[in-house]
Amino acid sequence: MGPAQAIRTGFAKSFQFSGRASRAEFWWFAPVPIIVVLATVALADVSSIFEKPAVLYSLLFVVFPALSLAMISAGARRLADTGSRLKWPFQAVMLTILIAYTICGNVLVALEQLHIYSTESLSGIGFITVFLGLPFALLALLVFAIPLSRPSQPNSNSYGPNPLEVTP
């Protein structure tokens, strides 16, 4: 499975936590949320197109959780593919990080809407939130990197047929 097909499959199975996912499907798709966040932050900080860069940060607290859920579902399917018992701990850790990130982000957006913080200070706080949330998510991925990198279990397992084997 190539990168384009892996990313299409990742989006197509965004909220499907059952079944199996090949290594290629997960590892080509997993960086997508991180790349989107970094690109959005870079665009907000360097672009003069946006009068209020906080708008892009607000968008991050909607788009990034949706992309992250898709990545978490791909990770859960990947761990199921290896036959690992870490599927539930992976989901719990990643969802906890995602929920904390989303709550912090939405609080920041609410503070800006209530004019408690200016757009400029919200941009700074949003930047800090993004770059505090990302390291925790990356650390969690590193902790689970070895189980996520294991080869597929041959044949079918309790989660379904091997995604790398051709079925008639």
Tens of pLDDT along 49-90?
Answer: 656 655 666 667 777 778 888 888 888 888 888 888 888 888
pLDDT of 167 over the 60 cut: no
**For position 83, what pLDDT does the model report?**
83
**For position 30, what pLDDT does the model report?**
84
Distance CA 50, CA 7 (A): 29
This prediction's pTM: 0.72
Q: What is the pLDDT of residues 140-156, one digit of tens each?
A: 778 888 888 888 888 77
Mean pLDDT of 125-148: 73
